């Protein structure tokens, strides 16, 4: 479904991502692991069109994403949920969700169904639908960011560090919901530092170090891998 070949991304003369090859098959849940600054967000920005790669190609289904604008990439079915959530804090929960459906804004029935689906997944968002997004807790804001991304009906959802800054119990709930979204048919590419929790729900993973993929394999293989265990699981 997603095929990145030999992708490099530079900031000035600095190589943030170098020669990265990533594949994601339809229906998979794939995780990118790596510490701060390893290149995960830059890879996501290259896929979603926010940062143009200096070399390499990115294909989604049968379409080349090279040179497409971010909104064309959303229309193609790839939606990114950024690490900093990018909510509209003064607007209500409900209004934030509606904003997520802007690519489908003429299909009112579909928008209504999507919003009902998001409220089913996250009942707290339904309870707080008239509250300002900025008044929600960190975990609730993260749920809203994911809910808003779902409103665009993605085929592939890019989730950048959804567990960052959240309490352990909320992290667990977050991973349960991500797994559910995947089981309902949305393909997921997840960037996480929380390696153990992410590998428990993932099919496969790639480990980034200094902008390159250094290890890849099935979730079982990575959970057993010495480098991964020492560096990211603390075992």
Which residues are at the interface with ligand ATP (CB under 6 A)?
11, 14, 16, 34, 36-42, 83, 161
Sole residue written with tokens 């929380």? 194
Q: How far is the CB of 127 from ligand ATP (least distance, A)?
A: 31
Q: How far is the CB of 212 from ligand ATP (least distance, A)?
A: 11
Q: How far is the CB of 217 from ligand ATP (least distance, A)?
A: 19
Would you say 145 and 87 are in contact if contact means Cβ atoms under 8 Å apart?
yes
Beta-bridged to residue 14, according to DSSP, are 11
Q: Give CA–CA dist 66/64, Å, rounded.
A: 5
**Shorter beta-carbon distance to ligand ATP: residue 36 or 109:** 36
**Shorter beta-carbon distance to ligand ATP: residue 93 or 190:** 190
202 burial class (0-12, 13-18, 19+ CB within 10 angstroms)?
buried
Secondary structure (3-state) at 20: strand
**Shorter beta-carbon distance to ligand ATP: residue 153 or 160:** 160
- Strands 212-218 and 204-209, sheet pairing: antiparallel
**Shorter beta-carbon distance to ligand ATP: residue 14 or 106:** 14
With b for 16 or more beta-carbon neighbours within 10 A and e for fewer, the 85-100 pattern comes to: bebeeeebbbebbbeb
Secondary structure (3-state) at 132: strand
Q: Give CA–CA dist 187/88, Å, rounded.
A: 26
Q: How far is the CB of 120 from ligand ATP (least distance, A)?
A: 30
Q: How far is the CB of 39 from ligand ATP (least distance, A)?
A: 5
**Shorter beta-carbon distance to ligand ATP: residue 41 or 140:** 41
Length of the chain (residues): 235
């Amino acid at each position: 479904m997603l095929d990145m070949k030999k992708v490099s991304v530079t900031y000035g003369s600095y190589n943030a991502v170098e020669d990265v090859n990533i594949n994601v098959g339809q229906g998979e849940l794939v995780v990118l692991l790596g510490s701060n600054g390893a290149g995960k967000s830059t890879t996501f920005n290259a896929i979603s069109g926010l940062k143009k790669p200096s070399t390499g190609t990115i294909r989604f289904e049968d379409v080349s994403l090279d040179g497409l604008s971010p909104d064309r990439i959303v229309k193609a079915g790839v939606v990114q949920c950024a690490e900093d959530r990018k909510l509209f804090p003064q607007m209500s929960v409900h209004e934030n969700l509606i904003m997520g459906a802007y690519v489908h804004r003429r299909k009112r029935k579909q928008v209504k169904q999507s919003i009902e689906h998001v409220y089913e997944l996250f009942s707290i968002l339904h309870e707080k639908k008239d509250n300002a997004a900025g008044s929600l807790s960190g975990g609730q804001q993260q749920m809203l960011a994911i809910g808003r991304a779902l409103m665009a009906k993605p085929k592939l959802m890019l989730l950048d560090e959804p567990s960052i800054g959240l309490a352990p119990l909320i992290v667990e709930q977050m991973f349960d919901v991500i797994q559910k979204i995947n089981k309902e048919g949305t393909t997921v590419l997840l960037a996480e530092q929380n390696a153990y929790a992410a590998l428990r729900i993932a099919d496969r993973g790639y480990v980034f170090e200094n902008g390159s993929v250094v290890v890849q394999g099935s979730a079982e293989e990575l959970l057993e891998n010495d480098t991964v265990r020492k560096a990211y699981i603390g075992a």
